[in-house]
A = this chain, B = another copy of it.
């Protein structure tokens, strides 16, 4: 931790009077610009920040000096001065899932539009220790707010203390009582999917879940069960997947042999893809013999064989609201009213669903 501080750090500073050609990589500061322009550094500051009260000719000189020296403001000094970093941290476990990467992209885009940068803090394993470590590091990290994209029950224990002044928004979690939460309306989406299948005339709907550790997965499974119960339908045993197409395939092989299974709701599109493959290999026609609905509406879903009926998640909107929530907290200074902000979903009907025995 402290052995990477080379002794050469203390090397003498080279004077400003270098041969112009020999590119010295020392940073150009306001003082350098000021000297060249023949003004005070405060005037340079004023020009840099577009403040009023600098006469045209002076401004021109300063700008010229800036250009010549290639001046860039030093954000570390700025951050120190203002006590703000204009940066939002994003803690997440994996970018591999479509949902996460699209959410992060939306976060980055909207944050950029507001003048904020995004710092990624990946967790190699979503263990309590790692999460805690990330949060601890967060404090040392130059960040004004944190968006957490993972199952937050992991950081339940009161042991995790966020540095004061760091605001939090959470995705994919039920921590609505403690933090500001933004999430896709999992229950609504699931209801849409299940209702769609029931309305087509299926007696009941089977379900392939995501990993147990995922909050989204839990919510979808729970909503699926609830919807069936409410309608007095039999509740088939759920099959457990892990989001991967492979696990969907395994589930599909198991389901293919059950003639009473005519409709399956997969907790994401990848697993639905696995189902499609399994049913195809076992000669069970989709949707004639068996209907499949996914969740996410990944771009590829429209080109599955057959094109997949699925629940569309608006990841961009989730990302947008995360940033919005984080900025609100930063600006208001408050810790932000804890609560849950749900983003609606919609069902995209394609060719993988049909009435039973059609």
Is A139 interfacial (CB-CB < 8 Å)?
yes
Q: Of B51, B78, B83, B115, which contacts A27 at CB under 8 A?
A: B83
> Interface on chain A toward B: helix, strand, loop, or mixed SS?
mixed
Closest Cβ–Cβ distance, residue A96 to chain B (whole Å): 7
Chain B residues whose C-beta falls within 8 Å of the C-beta of A109 in the assembled complex? 122, 124
Q: When each residue 304-316 of chain A gets 1 if its CB lies under 8 Å from chain B and 0 otherwise, what string results? A: 1101000000000
Closest Cβ–Cβ distance, residue A134 to chain B (whole Å): 9
- Chain B residue at smallest Cβ distance from A101: B101
Closest Cβ–Cβ distance, residue A210 to chain B (whole Å): 15
Chain B residues whose C-beta falls within 8 Å of the C-beta of A280 in the assembled complex? 305
Is A276 interfacial (CB-CB < 8 Å)?
yes
Interface size class of A (residues with CB under 8 A): 35 or more
Closest Cβ–Cβ distance, residue A25 to chain B (whole Å): 4
Chain B residues whose C-beta falls within 8 Å of the C-beta of A122 in the assembled complex? 105, 108-109, 112, 118
Is A274 interfacial (CB-CB < 8 Å)?
yes
Chain B residues whose C-beta falls within 8 Å of the C-beta of A28 in the assembled complex? 164
- Are A119 and B72 in touch, CB under 8 angstroms? no
Q: Which residues of A contact B (CB under 8 A)?
A: 1-2, 4, 9, 23-28, 49-51, 70, 72-80, 82-83, 85, 87, 94-96, 101-102, 104-105, 108-109, 112, 115, 117-122, 124, 139-142, 161, 163-165, 244-246, 248-249, 270, 273-274, 276-277, 280-281, 299-300, 302-305, 307, 331, 333
Closest 10 CB pairs of A and B: A72-B139, A245-B303, A76-B79, A101-B101, A95-B105, A108-B122, A76-B80, A25-B164, A118-B120, A25-B165
